């Protein structure tokens, strides 16, 4: 019998340390192994050689089941292991939980099906339709193609291709092995002189090995710049990762990438099938994928040789993951690039305040684009003062807006009304006794949604029928809808402009990638006169006919106490405004507000974005807030309210932090109940360079957590609800 080796194996479970197993041969760190754990079979990773459990019982150590996946062994790259260690340490997440982001069990269960390649069968007697001709055309250039390639190159649906296979127009080429694909890199991009100049700055900065911010106004062609940088890195035979915030909205982008680089592109996001993900995962590990376009989780892919990470729309809030592993993918992209000695580009028209500060303190370089690509001007922005605005005839909308929409339609152009409030009305209350309709599981109002005729909780997703009696006085037919949601705007516009075609652009109406892209196409092809949108619209890209934007209720973020409220408001107003006039010459934006003199709106109107950032940074500096301090939020929740209060009070009394770290709380969270759990919050603030994690851990460890209590740690929190 061979002498067995002891291994420490990290498992993708919510535990912070590896377990000890044995194996008859030594295995490399990073090797995927199958082991038995709590009577289940799980896949884990050989973590390190010197990190064995202490005081283990030699006789009880189990042998691993196998270290082979199919016939091969799979080894995660060392840099991925370092990265996972770092994410776990920085975000105070159990190591095993972080490992969950790196692979799925299903990736190793079945072998990847061998691809079947097809060729055109000239002896087939089937009639060839016009669409099918596009496929036949492909085989003038290609010896053989698999079904997915045929679909992506021709743009045709699976049905069309399947029909051709069935009727023998395409035949299987038995012994075909694809030649080593070459990535297509020779496309000449026609830069404007300004882009050319900025491109040189980007390249010089990358040479310096610094994080580079491409800071360009909406519509200035930032994408072209980072694609050119990507092309150069690909040419050096390295991999490139481009991260996008809303991947379902950016299918148009991916089309551009594909037309530019032709092949070897992998997509990575939650909307993909398991089989597809598995293919992309292995292709990334084996370097068969050279360019990966992905959502935030793509950072955890096992890159073989990554040379550049691009974070597009780096300010976007969706880079922050708030459930499961709580982390900020923008920050982790910067870190991952640094660990790999790879280049890193951030791109935005409205950079985050943190990034802006990194530019000012010269940690990052900045390359600026000031002109719009098509030579159009930025839209003219003005305010409508709602304190004395004249209302339209029998309407709650200002007369000015109604007239503007009419005029825009007369030019055969599109208008967008923006309101960041889903549903019909945000608050429903009983006309008899005044009690509001709220969620049974959360401390939140229910929002009426007319498209489904149901009330919906925007925090937990609970829904209930809208024909409801008051829970207090039981009177029916007396529920009053107050406040504006986008459905109400849609109803009003339908009444005012019955002949105009409209679309509601919100997640409730466009829940799938397919519905989104069809909506975007309708807008792009000018088949829609009026768009009523939530912030989802601010992330769309191609609106060539949109020349008018009305922003309803711009005051939503001006009075909030959240430290990031004004930053977010500035970003969203800028992004929404920036949808207008990308191609057509004259465009305008009108902002409805009760505070037209507010400094934030003034910077927006006068296009003084540097002033906005400087004021914001000054404010953060004097109030000692990020990026000049560090924050960790702790959310403590439990179904048992009394237990929660007792525990939080006791924890609050143990204040064992050093002088430069302050503990605030406990306080009841603004949403004091969520999904039936009561919630209390602490906030911990430390100076910029302190090791805040170390002290937070020591503090939390000082008092045992009862089993019915859950603690969530949010390092660098973005929201405080």
Residues that bind Zn ion (CB under 5 A): 430, 432-433, 435, 439, 441-442, 457, 459-460, 462, 470, 472-473
Nearer to Zn ion, 80 or 442 (CB): 442
What is the DSSP-derived secondary structure letter of residue 681? Answer: E
Beta carbon nearer to Zn ion, 443 or 491: 443
Comparing CB distances to Zn ion, the nearer of 470 and 589 is: 470
In angstroms and rounded to an integer, the radius of gyration of the C-alpha atoms of the chain is 28
Which residues lie below 8 Å from residue 501, measured CB to CB, with a gap of 6+? 527, 528, 529, 530
When the beta carbons of 432 and 672 are compared against Zn ion, the nearer one is: 432
> Which residue lies nearer to Zn ion by CB, 337 or 439?
439
Closest CA to 554 of 562, 563, 566: 566
The minimum distance between CB 266 and Zn ion, in angstroms, equals: 37
Chain centroid to CA 387: 37
For tokens 């805040």, name the residue. Answer: 692
What are the tokens at 321? Answer: 């993951």
- Closer CB to Zn ion, 330 or 456, in the complex: 456
Q: What single-letter DSSP state applies at residue 657? A: -
Based on the number of CB atoms within 10 Å of its own CB, is 634 exposed (0-12), middle (13-18) or buried (19 or more)? buried
Instruction: Give min distance, CB of 452 to Zn ion, in A.
Output: 16
Q: How far is the CB of 462 from Zn ion (least distance, A)?
A: 5
Identity of the residue, 435 or 654, whose beta carbon is nearer to Zn ion in the bound complex: 435
Task: Tell me the residue length of the chain.
Answer: 721
- Of the candidates 571, 581, 561, 580, the one whose C-alpha atom is nearest the C-alpha of residue 604 is 571
Nearer of residues 472 and 515 to Zn ion, judged by Cβ: 472
Nearer to Zn ion, 348 or 428 (CB): 428
**What six digits make up the tokens of 89?**
């340490």
Least distance CB 483 / Zn ion (angstroms): 18
Output 244 or 447, the one with its CB closest to Zn ion. 447
Nearest approach in angstroms of CB 461 to Zn ion is: 7
Q: Give Cα 89 to chain centroid, integer Å.
A: 23
The DSSP element (H or E) to which 380 belongs, if any, is strand 380-385
Name the residue nearer to Zn ion (CB basis): 98 or 457: 457
Please say whether the beta carbons of 308 and 55 come within 8 A: no
What are 84's two structure tokens?
Answer: 């996972």
Q: How far is the CB of 542 from Zn ion (least distance, A)?
A: 36
- Is there a contact between 687 and 630 (Cβ–Cβ < 8 Å)? yes
Q: Please, what is the minimum distance in Å from the beta carbon of residue 460 to Zn ion?
A: 3
Our CB check for Zn ion shows the closer of 121 and 428 to be 428
Query: Shortest gap between Cβ of 472 and Zn ion (angstroms)?
Result: 4
Which is closer to Zn ion, CB of 100 or CB of 679?
Answer: 679
For 375-399, b/e burial (b = at least 16 CB within 10 A) is ebebbebebbebeebeebeeeebbe
**Smallest distance, Zn ion to C-beta of residue 468, A:** 11
State the minimum distance, in angstroms, from the CB of residue 477 to Zn ion: 11
- Nearest approach, Cβ of residue 560 and Zn ion (Å): 21
Q: How far is the CB of 563 from Zn ion (least distance, A)?
A: 26
What is the rounded CA–CA span in Å between residue 591 and residue 573? 9
Shortest Å, Cβ 409 to Zn ion: 40
Distance from C-alpha of 415 to C-alpha of 403, rounded to nearest angstrom? 11
Task: Decide whether 434 or 658 has the Cβ nearer to Zn ion.
Answer: 434
Residues with Cβ within 8 Å of residue 452, at least 6 apart in sequence? 463, 508
Nearest distance from residue 179's CB to Zn ion, in Å? 56
Cβ distance 239 to 305 under 8 Å?
Answer: yes
C-alpha span between 503 and 499 (Å, rounded):
13
- Of the pair 427, 460, the CB lying nearest Zn ion is at 460
DSSP state of 58: G
CA distances in angstroms from 179 to 157, 284, 286, 353, 436, listed in the order given = 26, 18, 16, 48, 66
Token pair belonging to 518: 């069809």
Q: Using the 8-state DSSP alphabet, how is residue 3 labeled?
A: P
3-state secondary structure 98-134: HHCCCCCCHHHHCCCCCCCEEEECCCCCCCCCHHHHH
* b/e code 675-695 from CB counts within 10 Å (16+ = b): eebbbbbbbbbbeeebebbeb
Three-state secondary structure of 204-267: HHHHCCCCEEEEECCCCCHHHHHHHHHHHHHHCCCEEEEECCCHHHHHHHHHHHHHHHCCCEEE
Three-class SS state of 36: strand
Residues in contact with 37: Cβ distance below 8 Å, sequence separation at least 6, in sequence order: 11, 13, 19, 44
C-beta of 70 vs 440, nearer to Zn ion: 440
Q: Tokens standing for 635?
A: 């959310």
User: Token pair for residue 391?
Assistant: 């209302």
Beta bridge partners of 662: 685
Residue whose entry in the numeric block shows the structure tokens 């003034």: 602
Q: How far apart are CB 464 and Zn ion at their closest, in Å? A: 10
Min separation Cβ 180 and Zn ion, Å: 54
């Amino acid at each position: 019998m061979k002498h067995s080796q002891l291994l420490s194996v990290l498992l993708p479970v919510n535990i912070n340390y590896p377990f000890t197993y044995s194996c008859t041969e030594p295995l490399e760190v990073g090797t995927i192994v199958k082991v038995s754990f709590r009577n289940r079979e799980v896949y884990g990773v050989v973590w390190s050689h010197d990190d064995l459990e202490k005081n283990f019982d030699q006789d009880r150590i189990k042998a691993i089941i196998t270290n082979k996946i199919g016939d091969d062994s799979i080894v995660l790259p060392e840099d991925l292991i370092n990265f996972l260690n770092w994410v776990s340490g920085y975000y105070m997440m159990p190591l095993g939980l972080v490992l969950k982001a790196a692979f799925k069990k299903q990736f190793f269960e079945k072998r990847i099906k061998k691809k079947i390649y097809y060729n055109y069968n000239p002896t087939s007697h089937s009639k060839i339709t016009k669409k099918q001709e596009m496929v036949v055309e492909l085989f003038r250039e290609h010896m053989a193609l698999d079904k997915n390639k045929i679909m992506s190159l021709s743009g045709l649906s699976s049905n069309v291709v399947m029909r051709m296979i069935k009727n023998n127009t395409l035949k299987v080429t038995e012994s075909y092995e694809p030649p080593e694909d070459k990535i297509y890199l020779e496309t000449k991009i026609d830069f404007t002189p300004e882009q050319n100049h900025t491109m040189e700055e980007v390249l010089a900065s990358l040479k310096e090995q610094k994080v580079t911010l491409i800071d360009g106004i909406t519509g200035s062609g930032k994408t072209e710049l980072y694609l050119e940088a990507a092309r150069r890195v690909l040419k050096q035979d390295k991999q490139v990762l481009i991260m996008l915030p809303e991947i379902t909205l950016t299918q148009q982008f991916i089309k551009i990438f594909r037309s530019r680089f032709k092949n070897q592109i992998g997509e990575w996001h939650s909307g993909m099938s398991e089989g597809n993900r598995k293919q992309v995962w292995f292709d990334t590990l084996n370097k068969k994928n050279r360019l990966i376009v992905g959502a935030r989780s793509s950072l955890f892919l096992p890159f073989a040789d990554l040379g550049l990470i691009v974070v597009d729309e780096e300010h976007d809030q969706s880079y922050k993951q708030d459930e499961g592993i709580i982390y900020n993918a923008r920050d982790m992209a910067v870190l991952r690039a640094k660990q790999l000695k790879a280049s890193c580009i951030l791109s935005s028209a409205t950079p985050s305040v943190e990034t802006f500060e990194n530019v000012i303190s010269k940690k990052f370089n900045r390359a600026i684009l000031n002109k719009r690509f098509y030579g159009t001007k930025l839209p003219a922005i003005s305010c409508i003062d709602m304190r004395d605005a004249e209302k339209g005839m029998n309407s709650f909308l200002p007369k000015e807006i109604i007239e503007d929409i009419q005029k825009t339609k007369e030019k055969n152009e599109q208008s967008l009304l923006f309101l960041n409030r889903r549903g019909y009305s945000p608050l429903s209350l009983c006309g008899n006794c005044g009690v509001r309709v709220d969620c049974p599981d959360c401390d939140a109002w229910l929002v009426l949604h007319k498209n489904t005729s149901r009330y919906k909780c925007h925090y937990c997703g609970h829904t209930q029928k809208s024909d409801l009696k008051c829970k207090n006085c039981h009177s029916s037919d007396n529920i009053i809808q107050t406040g504006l949601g986008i459905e109400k705007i849609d109803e009003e516009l339908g009444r005012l402009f019955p002949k105009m075609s409209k679309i509601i652009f919100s997640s409730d109406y466009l829940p799938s990638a397919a519905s989104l892209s069809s909506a975007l196409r309708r807008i792009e092809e000018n088949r829609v006169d009026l768009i009523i949108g939530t912030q989802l619209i601010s992330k769309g890209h191609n609106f060539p006919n949109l020349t008018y934007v009305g922003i309803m209720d711009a005051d939503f973020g001006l009075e909030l106490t959240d430290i990031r409220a004004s930053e977010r408001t500035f970003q969203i107003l800028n992004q929404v405004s920036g949808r207008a006039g990308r191609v057509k010459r004259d465009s305008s934006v009108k902002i409805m507000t009760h505070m037209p003199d507010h400094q934030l709106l003034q910077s927006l109107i006068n296009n003084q974005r540097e002033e906005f950032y400087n004021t914001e940074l000054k404010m953060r500096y004097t109030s000692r807030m990020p990026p000049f301090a560090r924050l960790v939020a702790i959310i403590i929740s439990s179904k048992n309210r009394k237990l929660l209060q007792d525990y939080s009070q006791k924890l609050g009394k143990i204040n064992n932090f050093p002088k430069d770290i302050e503990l605030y709380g406990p306080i009841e969270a603004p949403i004091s109940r969520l999904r039936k759990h009561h919630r209390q919050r602490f906030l911990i603030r430390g100076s910029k360079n302190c090791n805040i994690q170390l002290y937070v851990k020591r503090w939390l460890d000082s008092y045992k957590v009862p089993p019915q209590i859950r603690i969530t740690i949010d390092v660098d929190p973005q929201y405080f609800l």
